[in-house]
Amino acid sequence: MSALGDLGWEAYPSEGWEEISVMDERNTPMRSYQVCNVMEANQNNWLRTRHIPRDGAQRVYIEIKFTLRDCNSLPGVPGTCKETFNMYYYESNNANLWFIKESQYIKIDTIAADESFTQTDVGDRVMKLNTEVRDISNLSKKGFYLAFQDVGACIALVSLRVFYKKCPLAVLNLAQFPDTVTGGDSALVEVRGSCVNDSEEFEAPRMYCSGDGGWLVPIGRCVCKPGFEENKDYCQPCRPGTYKASSMDAYCTKCPPHSFSHQEKASECSCEKGFYRADMDPRSMACTRPPSAAENPISTLNDTSVTLEWSPPRDSGGRGDVTYNVHCRKCANDGKTCSPCSNSVHFVPRQFGLSIPKVLITDLLSNTNYTFSIEAVNGVSDLSPTPKQQVTVNITTGQTGCSQISEHRKGEGHQYARHQLLQLFFLSFTLPLSLSAVNVILKERKSKDSITLAWQGPDRPNGVIVEYEVIYYEKNQRDQNYTVLKTKAHTMTVEGLKPGTTYVFRVRARTDGGYGNYGGEIELETSHEDMLAIGDPNQSTILAVSIAGGIVLLIFLVACFVVSGRHCGYIKAKQDPDEEKMQFQNGRVKLPGSRTYVHPHTYEDPNQAVRDFAKEIDASTIRIERVIGAGEFGEVCSGRLKLPSKREIYVAIKSLKAGYSEKQRRDFLSEASIMGQFDHPNIIRLEGVVTRCKPVMIITEYMENGSLDTFLKKHDGQFTVIQLVGMMRGIASGMKYLSDMSYVHRDLAARNILVNSNLVCKVSDFGLSRVLEDDPEAAYTTRGGKIPIRWTAPEAIAYRKFTSASDVWSYGIVMWEVISYGERPYWEMSNQDVIKAIDEGYRLPAPMDCPVVLHQLMLDCWEKSRSERPKFGQIVNTLDKLIRNPNSLKELANSSVWEDPTTPEFSVSTVDEWLDAVNMGQYKDNFASAGYVSLDSILYISLCELSKMGVTLVGHQKKILSAVQSLHAQGTHVQV
């Protein structure tokens, strides 16, 4: 506040403060209040501002500039002369109070001068201005009055500035956070972000506005709506020719074939004329069209049955779901008057929706003309206004032995007919008599979805058996679903069956003369579940169902079907069975109700796992820029990836060094097949792999700040506790995701966490061999395994019981690493000593400045009994609560390494030793050149002195001062 005119402040008594104009150092006139009644005792002069509106702030700062006379410089002043004054405030909703009692004021502080000026200074017009800033918190009324009490000093109040701090408007993760006034005291203000235009919430965006006006701990994010893609802080419309169907997709992509988008913001592309998209088709699929007509129909007539076969359409319309419908019409002898066939005609396997180009039609009337139209359809046929493409076949029953073909192709104006004589055997009367029925004699219950049948040939074949036809259907479903299969062998495995379902099977033989009769029906039921070993001789049931042939049961056949020691094709993943209650489903580990991690070992062919979970990237889209680290299999580089129709992104590129063995290649790529299964903001994201050319590479998102341990060491002491808790929360959230997917990490440590430019921490390092080979911290245990001892739960060290609960133990160690800015757990203790100490109940003490609640959470993670450790979900919730209520972090554990009775005795005799012991050895020279050569000389070192000697990092200053206090506390150990 500065003014040239009357400021209108209240001063009383009248002989106290007075408002006068003075010149500042640039000779500019300014108003100031002065008082200088130093010659008289018992002064009590008050100066009160006008009402200052609070403007929504809970905490305001008051900066005052003043000059103060040094009592010694005033000749002849009595001892009552003062060099301080008091500052007060009074909160009020009333802006026009004319009187406030002294006792109503709340004292802010007694203000003293850093500089005082003497008469000579004034004569030289050198004004030494003092600047002091104080704050008042938890304001709640409309405004407040400030007051200055003089008790006998010589003061000139030159400037008063009242201000509050705001966190400035910010956009992060596509959420906008408004200008926010900071909270009272040190409380953080939780702010809900609002999604920027054309975006929507993925997870409620939140941030905290800290007391000093900075934003902390971003949580949640928004994502661009369909039709828009992210570009820095906003969502931009998809350009014409591109689309984005879901807000979960990151970028707009080119319209799929046969589709277009003429406008911006397309959430899907429209199909070109004549092309369609079925309801269930994904928006990324090309538009398709109905198929062309089926071709080359052949009818094989057998008395009152006919088999129709045809070739699939030349053009499937771009789809894989072509099926066939067969329409039947009965025609009068003139061939012109036709009517739909009656219901007594049967179609095997069915009339509509045939997936194979063949149908058997039975129960036709003899000596009757029929026209069959075969219609090829696919998933978009019903969407097209043009008539469905058909071919027709005309037959006349009763003319057995002669297969007639009559094709009449309709569609798009083409019409032609073809007659073809297929077979000229007049066997119609002899066939059924001479080729006897085939009876299924044996079945092997193989699994829940397949059955193996066996039979003998007919006892009276009328020629060479060309093939057998097996017809089967679900019991009681005959009219709806028949399947016909053919084989030249005497056995057949029918697959794709439903578990625990009874099927009816019949078999017949065919010679060049035609088909014989079907044998008797045999009912067989699939098992309810797969069994580990099938083909147990006891389970191979022999069934003799003889209706026509009376065939002798051939015991030797049984042996053919006894398959011993076969397994179901899964290898149990290396996870813990009793802990995770796994089921096995199609060879994959399944946790009920959740997506589950699939161990690459589950695959017989590890390359298939890579294909299933990792996208192949064209090496030409990658630009390698620089080496950023060394991995187990080769160097790690940073670079850029530009995928077609996607924005260029920064990536990390791990490559497999030349001369690798096949096992090394497999192990290297296993990391990609594991990582590729995860999708979580706190798990490092796999972009893809390069396997088709050398070097083989794994491409992941780029994490600008590298690994967490190095990052913390580099920024020792530079983060607020809330920022550190934010990092822990991220790691816990990633681990919750992994444990929900039944993935056990086994090597959770700060060195295996990566940090990006937004301080987001992501769990990384998923290689199969990593714990064994890669981690320099891993040491051999007595049982032969290699384990990172300091991070690993006792049960995992002792008997390799790795579970999510052992990951929780490691997580506690990571928390300790975070709070201590990358300190080595258990310092220089040997691995053996660590194992022994843990067994004896020793736990890492709280690092310096560690809130009690965090150390307690660590101790919970280090419970000996793994069932008593918290789950990752509980850890995330606890940390969320702490972030919401930062006051809970205020109470510090205050234990330091050397105060803990269980730590080795701390005994040092020189400053250098002491600095080494407190891990501040880098300042030895600074201490020496500043003259601190003995331990007793550092006992009273001040913050100011530390800064002067070059210890400027706040974290290091705190560390040293706290260690100095410990020296005081345990003077007996210090040999000074």
Report the residue from 180, 396, 403, 707 that binds ligand AMP according to the rule CB under 6 A.
707
Contact 418, 391 (CB under 8 A): no
Judge whether 625 and 638 are in contact, CB under 8 Å: yes
Instruction: Quote the tokens at residue 362.
Output: 């039975």
Kindly name the residue from 303, 530, 747, 849 that is annotated as catalytic.
747
Sign of CA dihedral 705, 709, 712, 716: negative
Integer Cα distance of 440 and 543 in angstroms: 8
Give yes or no for residue 465 binding ligand AMP (CB under 6 A): no
Task: Enter the tokens of residue 341.
Answer: 């066939």
* C-beta of residue 736 within 8 angstroms of C-beta of residue 755: no
Q: Which is nearer to ligand AMP, 167 or 652 (CB)?
A: 652
Say if residue 628 carries a ligand binding annotation: yes
Q: Which residue is nearest to ligand AMP (CB)?
A: 629
631 near ligand AMP, judged by CB under 6 A: yes
- CB closer to ligand AMP, 319 vs 770: 770
Q: What's the DSSP call for residue 405?
A: -
Nearer to ligand AMP, 671 or 849 (CB): 671
Among residues 628 and 939, whose Cβ is nearest to ligand AMP? 628
Task: Provide DSSP, 48-93.
Answer: E---EE-TT-SSEEEEEEEEEB-GGGSTT--TT-BSEEEEEEEEES
Nearer to ligand AMP, 669 or 951 (CB): 669
Asked if 742 touches ligand AMP (CB under 6 A), the answer is no
Interface with ligand AMP by CB under 6 A: which range of 190-198, 213-221, 445-453, 623-631?
Answer: 623-631
Considering only residues 645 through 664, tell me which ones interact with ligand AMP, judged by CB under 6 A: 652
Residue 631 in marked binding region: yes
CB of 291 to ligand AMP, least distance (A): 47
CB neighbour class for 366 (10 Å; exposed up to 12, middle 13-18, buried from 19)? exposed
By CB under 6 A, residue 724 contacts ligand AMP: no
Nearer of residues 238 and 754 to ligand AMP, judged by Cβ:
754
636 binds ligand AMP (CB under 6 A): yes
In angstroms, what is the minimal distance from the CB of 251 to ligand AMP?
Answer: 20
Q: Please identify which residue in 202, 702, 711, 743 interacts with ligand AMP, judged by CB under 6 A.
A: 702
Residues in the chain: 976
Which helix or strand (DSSP H or E) is residue 204 part of? strand 199-209
Place of tokens 């990951």: 807
611, containing H or E segment: helix 606-613
In angstroms, the first-to-last Cα distance of the chain is: 55
Tell me the closest approach of the beta carbon of residue 170 to ligand AMP, in angstroms: 25
Q: Does 792 contact ligand AMP by CB under 6 A?
A: no
288 vs 707, beta carbon nearer ligand AMP: 707
Q: CA dist 268 to 228, 248, 260, 290, 518, Å?
A: 11, 14, 9, 21, 53
Q: How far is the CB of 802 from ligand AMP (least distance, A)?
A: 19
Confirm or reject binding of residue 851 to ligand AMP (CB under 6 A).
no
Q: How many CA atoms lie within 13 A of 735 on its CB side?
A: 34
User: Considering the rule CB under 6 A, would residue 628 count as an interface residue with ligand AMP?
Assistant: yes
> Binding of ligand AMP at residue 64 (CB under 6 A)?
no
To the question of whether residue 632 is assigned a binding role by annotation, the answer is yes
Q: How far is the CB of 765 from ligand AMP (least distance, A)?
A: 5
Q: Which two tokens stand for residue 241?
A: 């020719």
Minimal distance, residue 288 CB to ligand AMP, in Å: 40
Q: Are 377 and 290 in contact (CB under 8 A)?
A: yes
Tokens of 302: 């057998």
Q: Is the peptide bond before 349 cis (omega within 30 degrees of 0)?
A: yes
Strand partners, 332: none
Min separation Cβ 703 and ligand AMP, Å: 4
Closest distance between ligand AMP and the C-beta of residue 674, in Å? Answer: 12
Site membership for ligand AMP, residue 669 (CB under 6 A): no
Distance CA 709, CA 713 (A): 6
459 is known as an active-site residue? no
Determine the interface stretch with ligand AMP among 658-666, 701-709, 789-797, 938-946 (rule: CB under 6 A): 701-709
Closer CB to ligand AMP, 401 or 600, in the complex = 600
The interface region with ligand AMP, picked from 66-74, 265-273, 346-354, 624-632 by CB under 6 A, is: 624-632
Question: Going by C-beta distance under 8 Å and a sequence separation of 6 or more, which residues neighbour residue 915?
Answer: 921, 923, 924, 927
703 binds ligand AMP (CB under 6 A): yes
Residue nearer to ligand AMP on the CB measure, 162 or 755: 755
Residue 630, annotated as binding a ligand: yes
> Shortest Cβ distance from residue 692 to ligand AMP (Å)?
22
* 711 assigned ligand-binding residue: no
Stretch that binds ligand AMP, among 30-38, 273-281, 703-711, 843-851 (CB under 6 A): 703-711
Contacts of ligand AMP in 336-375 (CB under 6 A)? none
In contact, 712 and 821? CB cutoff 8 Å: yes
The least CB distance from residue 903 to ligand AMP, in Å, is 30
User: Does 706 participate in binding ligand AMP (rule CB under 6 A)?
Assistant: yes
Q: How far is CA 738 from CA 447, 596, 687, 803, in A?
A: 33, 9, 19, 11
As given in the structure block, the two tokens for residue 648 are 């260029």
Count of C-beta atoms within a 10 Å radius of residue 655: 20
Q: Which of 931, 955, 929 is nearest to 943 (CA)?
A: 955
As to burial, measured by CB atoms within 10 angstroms (0-12 exposed, 13-18 middle, 19+ buried), residue 610 is buried
Query: Which span sits near ligand AMP by CB under 6 A: 67-75, 165-173, 370-378, 696-704?
Result: 696-704
Give the range of 266-274, 564-572, 628-636, 672-680 binding ligand AMP by CB under 6 A.
628-636
- Toward ligand AMP, which CB reaches closer, 454 or 656? 656
Tell me the one-letter amino acid at 441. Answer: I
- All residues at 6 or more sequence positions from 514 whose CB lies less than 8 Å from its CB, including other chains: 302, 401, 425, 427, 431, 435
| Total residues interacting with ligand AMP, rule: CB under 6 A | 16
Residue 813, annotated ligand binder? no
Is residue 754 involved in binding ligand AMP (CB under 6 A)? Answer: yes
For the stretch 832-846, what's the b/e string if a residue is b when 16 or more beta carbons lie within 10 angstroms of its beta carbon?
A: eebbebbeeebbbbb
| List 387, 629, 904, 921, residue binding ligand AMP (CB under 6 A) | 629
Classified as helix, coil or strand, 531 is coil
**Binding region for ATP:** 628-636, 654
**Binding region:** 628-636, 654
Which residues form the catalytic set? Answer: 747
Which residues of this protein are in contact with ligand AMP, per CB under 6 A? Answer: 628-629, 631-632, 636, 652, 684, 700-703, 706-707, 754, 764-765
